[in-house]
Structure 1
Amino acid sequence: MNKTQTQHFQRLYQKHVDALYRQGKADTTIDVYSRAVRRITAFFDRCPDTLTADNLKTYFSSLVKTHSWSTVKTDRNGLQFFYHHTLNKQWPWVDIIKPPQRKTLPVILTQLEIQRIINQTQELRYQVFILTTYSMGLRLGETLNLTVADIDSQRMKAHVRLGKGKKDRLVTLPQKTLSALR
């Protein structure tokens, strides 16, 4: 890209990032959506507002061969956001790329397997961490962010703050977990 094109891209890119912030997107979402715009710009060495549907098909065909489906989906979503909120254009090419639908069951450990993991763990703090995470159905980050003030032993609830989607929620606190936390 020449200097004028680069300046034009930088203005659009900043407009894109500003729109992401205005929408209240998480920092990680802003990062991956912005990366998608930078990646397609580098791929064609031109500003994304000049790309055609055939260009997008070419790009996504290449992306599928070199990146994970997760990356392909986030690039698609990031570019769709760019077109809609930055360029004020419709994104008529959503069907250009459609990741395969996989329906797999999650791996769920049995109580015996969890008990073995806890018993093999040497330090008490790690045993309590594993028990708390598993028994309350928490994500790792949610368990790490728990504080004493979040535990309500009267109602047998724990307040999970800023979980997935930056949402708070109350979860049941099993008696065994409460005993271990004490």
Structure 2
Amino acid sequence: MSNDTQPIHPLRQRMIEDMTLRGLSPASQKTYVRAVRACCTHMNVRPGDITVDHARSFLLHLQSQGLGVGTINAHATALRFFLRFTLGCSSDVERVPVLREQRRLPVVLTREEVARIIAAAPGLKYRTALSITYGAGLRASETANLKVSDIDNKSMTLRIEQGKGRKDRKAKLSPHLIDVLRRWWQVARPQVWLFPSRSGVMCPISTRQLSRQFQHAVDAAEIRKDGRITLHTLRHSFATHLLEAGVDIRVIQVMLGHAKLETTSIYTHVSPKLLQDVASPFDSLPVIEPTD
């Protein structure tokens, strides 16, 4: 797996073609390539010489480093893909295991905490970026890759291009969020990317930079939770707040771009307000006097 500045290796090109044919997003493709490169580096083998045993040894190494199940599984999935589709080792690839991941409930912020974080963001650019991340329930990569042309002021909608699963969707923009976006446009006059990178207007901001500024805002707002607060927490909070407001979970599924309702249903487990508002059916029983 050679650097992008050098002529692309034929095997890497084949892997990219395999991923493209199977509909993997550009972000997923980069992740897969990095995982294969990491395995090659650790095992000191060329990409074309990777075996199932190499992959298993590399995953054991990741486990010994104390990495999370999600990180290990991401590497395992990439290596399984490379072995099966690019190298054609489909008969033995099941020996590269994907661990069963215990599903954790997401951390959710209160509305006040969201407002404090946005207010603490360093500058109008990041206040706007965090506002739209929460206000439209976006993933970090979706916020980073927004274009000026994605905003439709007339219909008050936002086009989210090639989200997770390579599916476009539309998000509803509130009047207040439209005002926030308009202020940012009047000050910065972005041409292509809504949030251009610091290196130049022709590139979007990186998700790493966006996440870093979010963490600065969390620290400045002095928000503390039992679990880890990440930029994705804004999306979790958006979904939970909609659910608490009585929005149908199937509508929330569409707004988040989830393929399965099961993915969206996790938010029913993290909202204490939902539990408080549920009345026991016992309370609706008719009053009938006992006969004894």
TM-score range, shorter chain: 0.5 to 0.7
Counterpart of 1:135 in structure 2 is 135
Inter-partner Cα distance in structure 2 for 1:41 and 1:18? 20
* Structure 1 position 70, deviation (Å): 3.9
Deviates more, 1:171-180 or 1:24-33: 24-33
Counterpart of 1:86 in structure 2 is 86
Identity of aligned residues (%): 29
Q: Superposition RMSD on alpha carbons, in Å?
A: 3.4
Q: Residues 149 and 28 of structure 1: is their aligned pair in 2 closer, same or farther, counting only changes over 3 Å?
A: closer
* Structure 1 position 72, deviation (Å): 2.6
Say whether residues 1:33 and 2:32 are aligned partners.
yes
Q: Residues 149 and 83 of structure 1: is their aligned pair in 2 closer, same or farther, counting only changes over 3 Å?
A: closer
Residue 170 of structure 1 aligns to a residue in which SS? strand
Q: Residues 147 and 86 of structure 1: is their aligned pair in 2 closer, same or farther, counting only changes over 3 Å?
A: closer
The structure with the largest helix share of the pair is 1
* Structure 1 position 97, deviation (Å): 2.9
Matches within 5 A, 1:22-171: 22-41=21-40, 43=43, 45=45, 47-48=49-50, 51=51, 57-66=56-65, 68=67, 69-94=69-94, 96-121=96-121, 123-171=123-171
Whether contact under 8 Å (2:23, 2:166) holds in the other structure is: no
Residue 143 of structure 2 aligns to a residue in which SS? helix
Counterpart of 2:259 in structure 1 is none
Whether contact under 8 Å (2:25, 2:164) holds in the other structure is: no
* Structure 1 position 109, deviation (Å): 1.7
Q: Residues 126 and 11 of structure 1: is their aligned pair in 2 closer, same or farther, counting only changes over 3 Å?
A: closer
Deviates more, 1:126-135 or 1:101-110: 126-135
Of structures 1 and 2, the one with the larger relative CO (CA 8 A, separation 6+) is 2
Residue 159 of structure 1 aligns to a residue in which SS? strand
Inter-partner Cα distance in structure 1 for 2:125 and 2:14? 47
Whether contact under 8 Å (1:83, 1:91) holds in the other structure is: no
- State the TM-score, normalizing by the size of structure 1: 0.67
* Structure 1 position 170, deviation (Å): 0.4
The one-letter code sitting in structure 2 at the alignment partner of 1:73 is N
Counterpart of 2:178 in structure 1 is 178
Q: Residues 175 and 65 of structure 1: is their aligned pair in 2 closer, same or farther, counting only changes over 3 Å?
A: same
Residue 164 of structure 1 aligns to a residue in which SS? coil
* Structure 1 position 127, deviation (Å): 3.1
Deviates more, 1:171-180 or 1:142-151: 142-151
CA shift digits 1:143-172 (9 cap, x unpaired): 344444433333332212233344321001
* Structure 1 position 140, deviation (Å): 3.4
Inter-partner Cα distance in structure 1 for 2:29 and 2:139? 22
Counterpart of 2:18 in structure 1 is 19
Inter-partner Cα distance in structure 1 for 2:103 and 2:80? 25
Equivalent pairs counted in the alignment come to 170
